[in-house]
Structure 1
Amino acid sequence: MSDGRDSPGAPRPARRPRGPSPAKTAGTRGAILAAGLATFLERGFAGTRMIDVAQRAGLAKGTLYLHFADKEALFEGVLGAVIGGPFLAAVAAEPGPGETLRDHLARTVLPLLRDFEGSRRAAVMRLVATEGPRFPALAAIHRRAVIAPVTAAIRRLAADAVARGELRSDALVRVPQLLVAPALMTALWNGLYGAEEPLDAAVAFEGFLDLVFGPAPGQGG
Structure 2
Amino acid sequence: MKFSFLISCISFFLISLQLSAQETTLQLASQNYIEVMGESKIELEPNQIFINIRFKNYMAKVNKDVSLEKALFEQLNELKIDLTKQLEIRYDPNHLNANSKLMSSENTAKVELTQLRKNYIVQLGSAVEAEQLINSLKKNKDIVFELERIDHTNLESFKSKVQQEAIKEAKAKAEELTSAIGQSIRKASLIREIESATSSEPSKNVFISAQYPNGIDHTPEKSFQKIILEAKYLVRFDLHWN
Fold equivalence (TM over 0.5): no
User: Relative contact order (C-alpha < 8 Å, sep 6+): which is higher?
Assistant: 2
Q: Normalising by the residue count of structure 2, what TM-score does the alignment of the two structures yield? A: 0.30
- The structure that is helix-richer by fraction is 1
Q: TM-score, normalised by structure 1?
A: 0.32
The structure whose residues are more often strand, as a share, is 2
